[in-house]
Chain A
Amino acid sequence: MATVTTPRRAPGGAGVMPDTPGWARWANDHRKWLFAAPAMVFVAALIVIPLGWTAWLSLTDAEGSVRAESEFVGFQNYLDVLSDTDRFWPAVGRTAAFTVVALLFEVVLGMAVALLLWRPFKGQKWVRVAILMPLVATPVAVGMMWRLIFDPNIGLANQVLGWVGIGPQPWLAGQHSALPTTIFIDVWQWTPMVVLILLAGLTSLSEEPQEAARIDGASSWQRFRHVTLPLLMPTVIVAILLRGIDALKTFDILYATKGRGGGSFHEVETLNVYAYGLSFDYNEYGVSSTVLILFFLIIIGSMWALTARRKEAKR
C-alpha cells in the first residue's frame, strides 16, 4: 500500500487505543498469563497435585477403602516393592521386553514401509488410507478382534497356519506365547504411526545430498546407510520417543486380550497392568502408588536418555 498509516498507540501499551476501557487494557497487558492460566490451573489441579498425592500415598500404608485411615510408613513400600521378585521385577522385565521388542519391529518395519512410500506412485492414496486405519481403530476393539483371530480353535491364524502345514499354536492362551502375541498386536496397530512420522521426515529432506551421492556412484543401500539415515536420525528418535512412551504405558490391548492381572500366570502383566490391578482390584493404594512412582521414574529416565541421543544426532 502506498498510504502511510500513523500508528495509533496509547502510552500504556503497544496497540491499545486511548478509549479502551480499563479492564480491557489490564487484560491486554496481562494477556500472557491470562491466556495460559486456565490451562495451567487445570493441569495443576488435575495432574500435578494428584501426582504429588500419589507420591505421598507411596509413603503410607493406604489400602482397602478410599475413606480408611492410613499411616505414614516412610520408605517401607519402596523396600518391599524393590525386593519383590514375585510380581514387581517380572513386571519390569515384561514392560522392558514388550517396549524394546515392539519398538524394534515398529521402527524397522516402519522405516521399510516409509521408504516404499517415499517416491510418489499410482495408488499411493489408497495405501495411505490403509495405513491410517489401524491407527484410529479403538485399541480395545483391536484387542477383541485379535482375540478372535488368535483363538486356538476357531481363529483365522491357526487356519492359515494349517494351510501351510504348521500345527495349531496357543497364541494368547499360551503361557509363553501370550506376551509375544500381544507385541505382535501392538506392532500391527502402531507401526503405521512410525511410518507416518518417518514419511514426514523423509519428505522434508532436501534432494541435494541424495543427488550428490548418486553422482558419486553410491548404491541405493549406501545412499540409505550413509546419506538418508544420518539425516533422518533426529526424526527416527522422535518416533522412538513418542511411540516408546505409549508402548511403556500399554494397557488397553493387554486388558482386552488377557483381562485382569495379565492372565492367570500374569503372563502379560506389565508395570501399568500391575499398578492398575493393585489399585482397583486389590485396593492396595500405598503399594500401587510406590509402583507408579517407580514406573514414572523409569519413563522419565528413558525419555531423558533418548532426548540426549537426539541432541547428539542433530549435531
Chain B
Amino acid sequence: MKASPAYRVFRVVALVVVVLSLVTPLLWMIAASFKTNVDIYDTGKALAFSPTLDNYATVLKQSHYVSFIGNSLWVAFAATVLSLILGVPAAYSMSRFNMKKSALVVLMARVIPGVSLLVPWYYVFSNLQLVGGFTVLILSHMFVSLPLIVYIMMGFFDGLPEELEEAALVDGLTHIGAFRRITLPLSVPGIATAGILSFIFSWNNFMFALVLSGADTKTLPVAIFDFVGYASIDWGGLMAAATVVTLPIMVIALFVQKYVVSGLTAGATKG
C-alpha cells in the first residue's frame, strides 16, 4: 500500500529532525576540536572560524596520546581475543547441552554493578602489586566482554542446525573435531559480531581503567580528563581528545554496521 502524501511529507520532516539531532552534536564536537580557544569563546564564530590543527598537536605530542591510543588498542584487543577463546566454546556447550544455570551465572555479570567488583579487585590486586599494570586492566575488561560474547554466541549457536555436526560425526569426525572443522568455520559471522561488539565496549570502558590503570597504562577515556582542570577547561584540547577517542570507533562502526546492529539487537526478538 502507498502511504498518503501527507504522511510522506511528515515522515521526511521527522526523519530530517531525527538525523540532525543525532549528528549535529557530534559534528559540533569535531568542529570545536579544530577551533582555537579564542574562537570557541567567541559565539559569533560558531561556524565562521579558521580551522587549526593546534589542538591535535597538543593532544598527540604534548600529552602522550599516541601511547594512550596504543594502551586502549592493546587492552581492547587482548580482552576481546581472550574472551573469545574462553567464551566461544563455553557458549557452544551452553547452547548444545542447554546449560541454563551456567549460562545464567555468566550472564549475571551483565547485571552486576562494576563498582561492587572493583573493591575486591582493588584489595587483591594492590596486594599483589598488579594495580597499574596491563594484566589487571585486561582481566577487568573481560568482565565486560566475556558475558557479551557468551550472550551473542549462544544465540548464534542456537540458530545453527545440529544436523551439520551430526553429518560430520557420521563421516568419522569426533565431536571436538566437528566443532573445530564444521561449527567454527560456520560461526565466523557470529564471532565477528561478538568480537566487534566486545572491542567497542572495551574501548569505550571508563570505570575500570579509572581505578585500575596507572600513569603508563592509562586508556583514552581516562586520559580525556587530563584536559579538565580544577579552575579551567582547555575546551579545544578536550574536544580534540574526545574526537580522538570516539571518531575511530564511529568510522569502524560505519564499515561493519551490519555486525554492530546484529550484536546490539542479539536475542531481542526470540524466546
Residues of A within 8 A of B (CB): 5, 7-8, 13-17, 20, 24-25, 27-28, 31-36, 38-40, 42-43, 46-51, 53-54, 57, 66-67, 112-113, 116-117, 119, 121, 123, 126-142, 144-149, 154, 156, 159, 188, 192-193, 196-197, 199-201, 204, 214, 235, 238-239, 242, 245, 249, 251-252, 255-256, 259, 272, 275-276, 279-280, 285, 288-289, 292-293, 295-296, 299-300, 303
Contact = CB atoms under 8 A, between A and B. Distances in A.
Given A36-B94, A129-B254, A188 B22 contact: yes
Contacts of A131: 18, 22
Nearest to B197: A136
A43 B148 CA distance: 13
Categorize the interface residue count of chain B: 35 or more
B150 interface: yes
Contact of A137 (B120, B211, B250, B269): B250
B105 A116 contact: no
A66 B122 contact: yes
B115 A272 contact: yes
B28 A145 contact: yes
Given A50-B121, A135-B264, A141 B242 contact: yes
B204 A138 contact: yes
Given A57-B119, A249-B114, A296-B112, A140 B268 contact: no
A66 B117 contact: no
Contacts of B113: 249, 272, 275, 292, 295-296, 299
B155 to A, nearest CB: 12
Contacts, number: 291
Q: Which has the most chain A C-beta neighbours within 10 Å: B110, B172, B178? A: B172
A196 B261 contact: yes
A138 B117 contact: no
Contact of A279 (B85, B115, B146, B172): B115
Contact of A200 (B29, B46, B118, B265): B265
Contacts of B200: 136
A218 to B, nearest CB: 13
Interface in B27-48: 28-29, 32, 40-41, 43, 46
